[in-house]
Structure 1
């Protein structure tokens, strides 16, 4: 733990990580498509995540959406010449949205990206009809002590279940919990289906340098939404796995109440990585963006 703290302090002193804006535009999009679209969806990944988490949204273009993506330092072609600062990211997302001719703008945020979307939405000109879809949304202070303790507990459960401390054995079992929740983490003998999902799921993890990882997470423990955040008139909906081991349903429900009682669509038996385990979540989010009622499955 001391080593981690020292590492973070050193990283915080790095000139690159003192900056909150990089030299390159964090937005990536098809300019011609965006300029002529009446509907634009802006996708914001979670900390430590690539925009690849949104790869299942290509069919949104069939519904008239142009897609744009916000990138983080060290991923998707951006250098690590700055750190993720949520307030700066929200300002950049809003500034981009305010250049659009589109009448409808939907912000789709995953995990940390959901908080950025919430903070950006009120800064977008009301001439745009803005919606916010939050998938597996982070909560303030990155979940704080409760999330830290739950992560440590789950790692301990993975060690007990595998009777090992070897990363090669423990990490796949920990992934099972991340994908599907504690039941999967503690299964005495994982089913072939679960084993296949864990193997496939582990491949979506993007290797990160230490500097990139710290650039993404440095600001999160102290981050909270501004007290004057006003989402009046902006439709917001949460899409969560009901077994999410990162941000619990209780934490998410409490957070929903804090920002005005956001509707929550929950997926039984699912963890934090809905984009992988339930890619149909993007159909539900698209329905929300189009003002359609939720589908019954």
Structure 2
């Protein structure tokens, strides 16, 4: 079953004409060269597929703490041309190459969703690994979550159709969005009513309307992705920050992935879903503490 997904995507790729180059002439990294040169610490932020780097807007505390911020952009978003397809390996190689230009700077790799695996792969390629720390928020897992993730998505779409009693995509989206925010219990829990009304309205500001070419170029490589057998993070500190109601990558999937990576602590946020940066922006305070080597105690 897992192998059928990439075959289906390859067929779609041929239909829509997605380019297969893995190199874009435009650097996917966005940063202020002066800030990077002057700082002794770098925070490299890597979003998830179908996500803009604006999910990291609420990270001024990193700059205040002396980190120069660097953002990795995905094809077709944030002024980057849609002229290549994303792979975790190619993104990681670019991040590591950049980090290795600055061998005397401490490096915090902060990945959201698919950005988590990218950060893990990049860390393995960075010189002087003792200067690296990895924080993965709502991290993706092997095979893009595989069949369990796909089935939960279909289940939540069906729940949204039943709850709204319509096939109107805009209304279905609001219900599905609620599940991404807080889990399916939020659909019918009166305690979430005010929050959902506010968050759904705010969510339109970050929702990216995607065409098929862009979507497939982002996800084509994910169903077959797995941790390399020779991945060796040594003593690099790694931590996962996750919503305990995440419907994209369940807590069980995350714990299994943490064990595969190697004794990774998982900091869980009750009543939160996949879009942790949106519902709990204070997660960035916790990630900053981790990046600084301080204790993390999620509230």
**Counterpart in the other structure of 1:213:** 215
**Counterpart in the other structure of 1:237:** 239
**Counterpart in the other structure of 1:122:** 124
Q: Distance in 2 between matches of 1:127 and 1:117?
A: 13
Change (3 A) 1:188 1:62: closer
TM-score by length of 1: 0.94
What is the aligned counterpart of 1:295 among 280, 294, 297?
297
After superposition, what is the alpha-carbon deviation per residue over 1:4-44, rounded to whole angstroms, capped at 9, x for unaligned? 97775242577752111111111110001101211100000
Contact 2:129 2:236 (8 Å CA) reproduced: no
What is the aligned counterpart of 2:284 among 267, 282, 285?
282
Q: Equivalences for 1:1-297 in 2 at 5 Å? A: 8-12=10-14, 17-126=19-128, 129-187=131-189, 191-295=193-297, 297=299
Change (3 A) 1:198 1:5: farther
Q: Distance in 1 between matches of 2:149 and 2:87?
A: 21
- Compute the RMSD of aligned alpha carbons: 2.0
Report SS of the residue matched to 1:116. Answer: helix
After superposition, what is the alpha-carbon deviation per residue over 1:47-73, rounded to whole angstroms, capped at 9, x for unaligned? 000100100012211111000011110
Q: How many residues are treated as equivalent by the alignment?
A: 295
Q: Distance in 2 between matches of 1:203 and 1:281?
A: 20
How many angstroms does 1:162 deviate by? 1.4
Structure 1 consecutive aligned stretches of length 4 or more whose deviation exceeds 3 Å? 4-8, 12-16, 186-190
How many angstroms does 1:242 deviate by? 0.3
Report SS of the residue matched to 1:194. Answer: helix
Change (3 A) 1:15 1:98: farther
Contact 2:130 2:236 (8 Å CA) reproduced: no
